[in-house]
Amino acid sequence: MIEFKNISKKYGRYSGLEDVSFTLEKGKIYGLIGPNGSGKSTTLKIIAGLVHPSKGTVLVKGTEVNRRIAKEVAYLSELDIFYQPFKVKDMIDFYASQFEDFRIERANELLTFMKLDPDKKLKQLSKGNRGRLKLVLALARETSVLLLDEPFSGLDPMVRDSIVKGLLSYIDFENQTVVIATHEIDEIEPLLDEVLAIKDGKVIDWQNVENLRETKGLSIIQWMKETFKE
């Protein structure tokens, strides 16, 4: 579904990614794990066609990625980018006008599930409710690839719990490839099929979560501590 072939990304003198290669399969949920500045967000932005690699090729469903890949990829950014004068329902209408695969009926179901008032102005929403709205906008699309960049950043445990329940209810586990970039994995550990550890722009380890537990007797958190210890 997603192929990274010798991808490097330079930002001036700074290296965001260095010669990264991997293949992500359909129907799996991947955790992209690493500290801040490790290259997680750059990886997702390249898959989403928002950043062009300095070197290498990335394919989604066999097609080389460019900005048109948005029709195949739903991307939840870590950044909080909303039109402040809009109401919640205005954002739903805006996304419906931009993406043919956006399902308003599903969006309205998600608004109810997330307990969001469609008539509330965005500038009046708490950070937690803004996080919920971002997830609504991403999950209401019928795409092959779902990318979530730090979906729990700065959110309290109750909000995180509702986001995980939303993922369980609305992800198409058979047909979607889901990549969740985070350094906070307590809540999502039960969701993940595989985990990739990324540090300083390089993938330093990759594990099947079930094998990690059964063969090595490690939780993802324990594996993280071993993998990222200095």
What's the CATH number for 2-228? Answer: 3.40.50.300
Gap between the terminal Cα atoms of the chain: 34
pLDDT tens, the chain, 230 aa long? 899 999 999 988 888 999 999 999 999 999 999 888 889 999 999 999 999 999 999 999 888 998 888 888 999 988 777 777 899 999 999 999 999 999 999 999 999 988 899 999 998 998 888 888 988 999 999 999 999 998 877 677 777 777 787 778 888 888 899 999 987 787 788 889 999 999 999 999 999 999 988 988 888 888 888 888 75
Q: Which of 51, 76, 40 is nearest to 151 (CA)?
A: 76
**CA separation for the pair 212, 78 (Å, rounded):** 28
Query: What residue segments make up the domains of the chain, in order of their start?
Result: 2-228
Give residue 27's region: left, alpha or beta (phi > 0; psi -120 to 50).
left
Residue type, 42: T
Instruction: Say how many C-beta atoms besides its own lie within 10 A of residue 67's C-beta.
Output: 9
pTM of the model: 0.91
Question: Percent of the chain having pLDDT more than 90?
Answer: 53
Q: Which tens digits make up the pLDDT trace of 92-120?
A: 999 999 999 999 999 999 999 888 999 99
Q: Which tens digits make up the pLDDT trace of 178-200?
A: 999 987 787 788 889 999 999 99
Question: Percent of the chain having pLDDT more than 70?
Answer: 99
